Structure 1
């Protein structure tokens, strides 16, 4: 259930493209590079486009993150993810007038109801590392 677990941080979803195409006009219909269903990023993108009645087409559907990056590099296309961990040549189109706003995604730590001591230590290590990388300084929200 979405209400389970400890929220470690929230991250904004972004429209992403290759840096060489960031200044170009957004093609219509929008060529989307999507993860296979089910995917929260895919669902958010399609819901936002449907709300704004924007036409789109699936340029690529894949289960592979490297394939997403490759598709963005090889041709016009837009993907939706957070910008955390993006390769240097993939950029966010933040505030682009032709693209609808996207929601934030919550990063949650799920734990078993009665974890062992080792599992508790592992969960605390994962929590600390995640917050250190995504929300430095202990803030509860990570944005770039």
Structure 2
């Protein structure tokens, strides 16, 4: 099952050329970029590990793309995303965020149904990855 989060989530994975075009768009708008990675891509997990520092001083998309490629090489079994920040509001505001790297195998989710009082039904999403230890959640079985 494919994790879908952020901008472009329902499109096929972007090529490096397409990623570079999006980086150029972000930098053209004055949005600094950051590269992040995680083994837990749950939608409520907004705190991914930072790859280096946000690139406030880069104006060339090639420099940001290089950091994306280095992060993917260092963490081939993790999710990698690119985030661009808009500082016009005086606080960290995400203007653009999308996944640029995925593990080779994504374990997927199941729906757990629970019947409660007064015939109410609750449905919860359970990621199969949670059945394994944190550091091995996305390793091949």
Q: Normalising by structure 2, what TM-score?
A: 0.26
| Larger strand percent | 2
* Higher RCO, Cα 8 Å, sep 6+: 1
TM-score by length of 1: 0.26
